Chain A
């Protein structure tokens, strides 16, 4: 009597459906509620940086501190953070220089023509909320942590350099010792202990402000509330978490 059996099975499954639907209806919201509280706890710790361009004096202490703290190669072209000097000429020409990343400070410019404005711009990884470097990594060696910081897993990186090409800010380089990609981590080992990133710690004029983006009150929130903010290359939709104030339109 195969027809009978299949009818019985059919009836059983018809009865089971409302039961399982009810179970899902009860447990589903509980599970999402648990996930939500977990999210709220971690969302306070969502890091960003503010850079006040009009306070940077181009002393290069941040560049040196970064090299020391993160044990970077000595050679003057491996930088996680560096300083650029912009010079805007009367005829609209823009000169940008960054001798050795600014690690030894700057000498007066060799002047060619009249300079209307000149200023320093510290640069580093923008810790994009929508990071192109993470999208292109073929093995999952670069990723965004729960606190919003983009890290590189140097034990897992295969050194293919895709991420270096993908970064629109030129913030990545290939570490010549490990042949893996490297970049600013916001000094992840420091910020997870409640210390400031090394560059922020040593900035003598307070041009760099570090803090939590989603906290009700943090030094960064205060800066963001009180200033007009800009990010680098906003048209690329990378949503950087490094914010600049008093940024000149010529800066790219």
Chain B
């Protein structure tokens, strides 16, 4: 068979190639998703799908539109950095239609407050923490602290109220009998506005020397060093931790 004078084997090959090509094009059209490769080696459509998922946390700006009284209080309190939904839970549905969903209102002791404020040694020093067993047992937190303005109703009586980690460290050390005032002078205002009235810390080796120098007027059981020869290049607390000195 000769078609337009073209050799037989060439015609057969051309037909075969046409079929293979056609099938390839058809399979590609069938299996490669429509938006694949528009912006890279992926379905461009998937980005839109990911961007259109439902939002569940509304963000605190929208809460303030109705709850401006609580917002006003919170904004000037220690909880100013907190978003409403930290304690009240996801509330996008409530923001959309306030009857559709009631956000959480944690009132019971330990329902919300302790997640952040129960003492854990791994928490950063200075973060306000309590030991739940010892801190007014059975009273609900909201009985004394307004969560929107949680400043304690009275100024704390002991340093341990805020410096629990140091207090507990000191309690198991040889320095357990020393009060904080032995080494730190804190103005009474420090208990009300801690950051504006910082207590002072010892600055010289003589502070430790009051008890630990060779000629110091202190108990015989207290370890003594010669301040002139014992590590004269350093301040005491560069090698020893004063809240938990080694034996």
Chain B residues packing against A (C-beta within 8 Å): 33, 36, 39-43, 46-47, 49-57, 59-60, 81-83, 85-86, 89-90, 114-116, 118, 120-124, 127
Given A118-B121, A153-B42, A189-B50, check contact A57 B59 (CB 8 Å).
no
Given A57-B116, A68-B57, A195-B59, check contact A143 B85 (CB 8 Å).
no
A58 part of interface (Cβ distance < 8 Å): yes
CA distance A185 to B55 in the complex (A): 13
Task: Known A-B contacts: A118-B122, A155-B49, A189-B55. Give 13 more (CB < 8 A).
Answer: A54-B124, A56-B124, A61-B86, A68-B57, A106-B122, A109-B122, A140-B41, A143-B46, A153-B46, A188-B47, A198-B56, A202-B83, A203-B86
List 5 A-B pairs, minimum CB-CB distance, nearest first.
Answer: A153-B46, A143-B42, A189-B53, A118-B122, A140-B41
Given A140-B41, A189-B53, check contact A151 B46 (CB 8 Å).
yes
A146 part of interface (Cβ distance < 8 Å): yes
- Inter-subunit contact B59/A202 (CB<8 Å): no
Choose one: B46, B121, B122; the contact of A156 (CB below 8 Å): B46
A224 part of interface (Cβ distance < 8 Å): no
Given A141-B42, A143-B42, A146-B39, check contact A201 B57 (CB 8 Å).
yes
Closest A residue, CB atoms, query B58? A195
Shortest Cβ gap from A205 to chain B (Å) = 7
CB-CB under 8 A from B51, the residues of chain A are: 188-189, 192
- Inter-subunit contact A202/B85 (CB<8 Å): yes
Shortest Cβ gap from B18 to chain A (Å) = 29
For chain A residues 18-74, which have a beta carbon within 8 Å of chain B? 54-61, 65, 68-70
Given A69-B56, A145-B47, A198-B56, check contact A59 B115 (CB 8 Å).
yes
- Inter-subunit contact A85/B59 (CB<8 Å): no
Given A141-B42, A151-B47, A188-B50, check contact A204 B86 (CB 8 Å).
yes
CB-CB under 8 A from A231, the residues of chain B are: none
- Inter-subunit contact B123/A204 (CB<8 Å): no
CA distance A86 to B116 in the complex (A): 18
- Inter-subunit contact A87/B122 (CB<8 Å): yes
- Inter-subunit contact B46/A105 (CB<8 Å): no
CB-CB under 8 A from B47, the residues of chain A are: 145, 151, 188
A235 part of interface (Cβ distance < 8 Å): no
Shortest Cβ gap from B181 to chain A (Å) = 28
A162 part of interface (Cβ distance < 8 Å): no
- Inter-subunit contact B56/A201 (CB<8 Å): no
Given A108-B121, A151-B47, A201-B83, check contact A195 B55 (CB 8 Å).
yes
CB-CB under 8 A from B116, the residues of chain A are: 57, 59, 61, 204
Closest B residue, CB atoms, query A142? B42
Type the 1/0 row for A175-216, where 1 means its CB is closer than 8 Å to any CB of B.
Answer: 000000000010011101101101001111110000000000
CB-CB under 8 A from B46, the residues of chain A are: 143, 151, 153, 155-156
- Inter-subunit contact B57/A69 (CB<8 Å): yes
CA distance A193 to B55 in the complex (A): 10
19 contacts between A and B (CB under 8 A): A57-B123, A61-B86, A61-B115, A69-B57, A86-B122, A105-B114, A143-B46, A146-B39, A153-B42, A155-B46, A188-B50, A189-B50, A189-B52, A189-B55, A195-B57, A196-B59, A198-B90, A202-B86, A204-B82
CA distance A119 to B33 in the complex (A): 47
Shortest Cβ gap from B226 to chain A (Å) = 29
